[in-house]
Amino acid sequence: MPLEIITGSIVEQKTDIIVSCNNSKMIAVGGNSLAIFNKIGYRKAKKLTKDYRNLKTAEIAVTSGFDLCQKIIHVVSPIYDESSDNNEELLFAAYNNVLNKAKELFANSISFPLLSADGNNYPKQLALDIAIKAIGSFIKDNEIDVKLVLLPEEKSNEVKYPELHRLINEAKTEKEEKRDFKAASHRLGMMVAGDLAKEAFDFCEYQEADLEDYLDKMDISFSKTVLKLIDEKGYTDSEVYKRANLDRRVFSKLRSSDDYQPSKTTAIALAFALKLSASQTDDLLLKAGYSLSKSNIADIIVRYCLNSEIYDIYEVNETLFKYNQKQLGSL
């Protein structure tokens, strides 16, 4: 997956490069960066970076990766200033400078902490938005796998889409009610039977349809349908797999085989890359044997984004991450 957002410890990531968020004195800032220094030995790390203590904001230094990775890139991350208009510009530059250096080093993969969120006072949601914007912009034109590693406390509680938040809470309530009803029914010996029970448990998304209707929709394979849509919309393969957060090798399987069976997240990612409507996405997913559920949180998020024409895969994945759902793309 070109960009994956995770929670965890950065020192446990198996990537070519690991990034340390430092201050101008080359001292690690934030829990994940401190973990890097502690893992290689704090004194050893300070000695290693002593020649880089006059760097300016967003400038970088490259050191040995010791047993953690090939190289560690240290970046002087900006401090948030409420009175400044260039907070986003400085943080964007920090990510961009690191990524360009990784490119120079021919790295295939890199792990970032959430720069400036833990210790430099950037609001967590803003820090995450800028990180995704900067990384997403870079990987549109460059081949590198990026992990953005957040500490659990760095996840923001900010509600970005109030209507989506309401829909998710309703779905959770519905699930609770369904579970309570099933428990009560079991205690009363009322197992699923009859019209009343059917009404209580019928959470199917689609109305009944003739088998012939489904077979008609499945007449053309998933692969052929995607390739046909690419041609109709005038897209290139690289445009599509990058917008879908897919590895090029995954997309080549689709291109080379009519029988290619994608994962559900890959199929949905392609729908976003092709900028399909919700109903068009339903039809495409059916060809791969999938559907979107009204009671599944990830599916609710997907349908909300499709209906709202939010096609930026990184923005969609940020929302999925916020609600602890599997992200779209290839893993």
Predicted confidence (pLDDT) per residue in 190-249, tens digit: 444 455 444 444 444 444 445 556 545 557 899 999 999 999 999 999 999 999 999 988
Q: Any idea which residue has 């077979």 for tokens?
A: 215
Residue type, 250: V
Q: Give the Cα-Cα-Cα angle 165, 169, 172 (nearest 5 degrees).
A: 140
Q: Give the Cα-Cα-Cα angle 137, 141, 144 (nearest 5 degrees).
A: 90
Out of 50-59, 127-136, 180-189, 258-267, least confident range: 180-189
**Count helices and strands in the chain by DSSP H and E runs:** 14, 6
The arithmetic mean of pLDDT across residues 143-161, rounded, is: 92
Q: How far is CA 67 from CA 15, 41, 62, 231, in A?
A: 12, 11, 15, 47
**DSSP strand pairing (145-150 vs 3-7):** parallel
pLDDT score of 157: 85
User: How sure is the predictor about 125, in pLDDT bands with cuts at 50, 70 and 90?
Assistant: very high
Domain annotation for the chain: domains and CATH numbers: 3-154 (3.40.220.10), 204-322 (no CATH)
The arithmetic mean of pLDDT across residues 150-174, rounded, is: 90
Residue type, 24: S
Task: Give per-residue pLDDT as tens, 243-288.
Answer: 999 998 888 999 998 889 999 999 999 999 999 999 999 999 999 9
pLDDT score of 37: 92
Tokens matching residue 233? 């919309």
pLDDT at 116 over 90: yes
pLDDT score of 34: 93
Tokens matching residue 14? 């198996």
Separation CA 101–CA 94 (nearest Å): 11
pLDDT score of 183: 55
Instruction: Kindly give, in sequence order, each residue whose CB lies less than 8 Å from that of residue 175, ignoring residues fewer than 6 positions away.
Output: 295
18 membership: H or E segment, kind and range: strand 17-22
Instruction: Kindly give, in sequence order, each residue whose CB lies less than 8 Å from that of residue 234, ignoring residues fewer than 6 positions away.
Output: none
Q: Which of 288, 287, 306 is nearest to 298 (CA)?
A: 306
